[in-house]
Amino acid sequence: MGRAARSPRAQWTLAAVSAAEAIFFPIPPDPMLLAMGLACPARVFRYAAITVVASVLGGVAGYCIGAFFMDAVGWPLIHALGIARHYDTVQAWYTAYDAWAVVVAGLTPVPYKLCTLTAGAFGVRFWVFVAASVIGRGVRFFAVAALVYWWGERARQLVEQRLNWIVSIGVLVVIMAAVAFGVLR
């Protein structure tokens, strides 16, 4: 994996996986980001930036599918991926929290692809969606990069064993900060 992670094509593959995961691909880009970062720690923040940009661009495609093709493409995709069970939860989040729902979905195990499709379908303002996606995905992927940069191989073990726990703490910190600054409605 080390040599493959150092290949020039690896960055393009990381971008493709990141964009596809935001629409339909079931595997998140975190493991690939982790492997590439461990293979070349000096470039891990570059890889995180590639992951964020590609994920947000994929999210924009998902948003457009939700806004313009939800019945023809969005719903069949949601059902094919087996994520329809999260639909009502995501809808309630948008009703209650608007952009913060996108930030949280960008950070948590709730499928980001469902967030992208439904944000378009529910009419979340486009610029709000993009900004919230950059924040949520940025925090998530740059946190992985920081772990790799500072802790190296120990970061891989930590992420593999405790990713959901780490993400949950991160979400709580974001929510507490939002409440503290009076941004959350």
Query: Where are the chain's structural domains?
Result: 2-180
Distance between CA atoms of 182 and 50, rounded to whole angstroms? 32
Nearest CA to 30 out of 175, 180, 173, 158 is that of 158
Radius of gyration from C-alpha coordinates of the chain: 16
What does the pLDDT look like over 137-185, one tens digit per residue? 999 999 989 989 998 878 777 766 766 676 666 666 666 655 655 554 4
Residue 171 is encoded by which pair of tokens? 């979400």
| pLDDT score of 182 | 56
Residue 81 is classified by DSSP as: T
What does the pLDDT look like over 164-177, one tens digit per residue? 676 666 666 666 65
| pLDDT score of 167 | 64
Is the pTM here over 0.75, yes or no? yes
Residue 94 is encoded by which pair of tokens? 């948008």
Distance between CA atoms of 176 and 26, rounded to whole angstroms? 30
Distance between CA atoms of 28 and 45, rounded to whole angstroms? 17
| pLDDT score of 126 | 96
